[in-house]
Amino acid sequence: MNLYSGKMNKLVEELSSLPGIGSKSAGRLADYLIRQPSQRVKALCDSILDARENVHFCRICYTLTDSDICPICSNESRDRSTIMVVEDTRDLAAYEKTGKYNGVYHVLQGAISPMMGVGPADIRLKELMTRLQSDDIKEVIIATNSSLEGETTAMYISKLIKPTGIKVTRIASGVPVGGDLENIDEITLLRALEGRISL
C-alpha cells in the first residue's frame, strides 16, 4: 500500500533496503530527511558518495580505510607480533573500543559458510598466510563470531596455522553463541580477550 507520493515511497523503499532498517524506521528517516535544510541533506549525500568512491581495503589488514594503509597498521607503537583475526571491520572497531588490545588485526571480510557458498578462497585467508610468512608473528588470536560459521572458520584457520609453529588462541567464552561481536559490550569483549585459550 502506498502511503506517500511516488518520490516519498521511493525514498522509503531505498532506506528500508539498508541492513537493520525496517519499513517503519525507513519512514521515520525519510520524514526526518525531508524536514532538513537542503544543505544538510546535500552534505549527507556528498559524504556517502565520497566514502563510496574513496574508501577501500587497507593493503595490510583489509579493514576499510581511505588511505593506502589504515591508521592501526601505520601506528608504530602497535605490537606487530600479535595478529587478531576478525570477520569484518565492525568487529575490529568493537575490540578497539576496549582500548586494551595493542596488537594488529587481519580482517577476513567474511566467514566460511558452505550453506551460503562461501569457502576458504572467498575470504582473506591467503593474505593472512602470506602475512604470517613475512612478519615475525608470535601469536594469532582468532576472534571470529561464536556462530556456526565463525567456529568453522576458527577451526579451519587453526589447522592452517598450527604447522607453522605460531601460537594460535581463540577468544574465550563470554561472547554468547550466535552473537555478533559488534553488538557486545566492551567489558564482555575484554573478558573474552583476556580469557582466550590455545587451540
Q: Give the pLDDT confidence of 28-65 residue by residue, as tens digits.
A: 999 999 999 999 999 999 999 999 999 999 999 999 99
The CATH code of the domain at 64-198 is 3.40.1360.10
Residue 191: what pLDDT?
A: 66
pLDDT of residue 189: 77
Q: What is the pLDDT of residue 198?
A: 75
H or E, element range at 125:
helix 125-134
Q: Which three cell numbers stand for residue 64?
A: 576499510
At the fourth CATH level, the homologous superfamily of domain 6-54 is RecR Domain 1 (1.10.8.420)
What is the average per-residue pLDDT within 78-90?
Answer: 95
Q: Examine the pLDDT at 4 and tell me if it is beyond 60.
A: yes
Q: What is the pLDDT confidence band of residue 148, given thresholds at 50, 70 and 90?
A: confident
| pLDDT greater than 80 at residue 95 | yes
pLDDT computed for residue 32 by the predictor: 95
Q: What is the dihedral of CA 75, 79, 85, 87, to 10 degrees?
A: -30
Locate the domains of the chain by residue range: 6-54, 64-198
**Run of H or E including 142:** strand 139-142
Instruction: Give the C-alpha separation, 18 to 168, whole Å.
Output: 36
Could you tell me the pLDDT band of residue 69, with boundaries at 50, 70 and 90? very high
What average pLDDT does range 109-129 have in this prediction?
Answer: 92
Per cent of the chain over pLDDT 70 is: 92
- Angle made by CA atoms 193, 195, 199, in degrees to the nearest 5: 95
Q: Is residue 197 within 8 Å of 170, Cβ to Cβ? A: yes
| pTM assigned to the model | 0.78
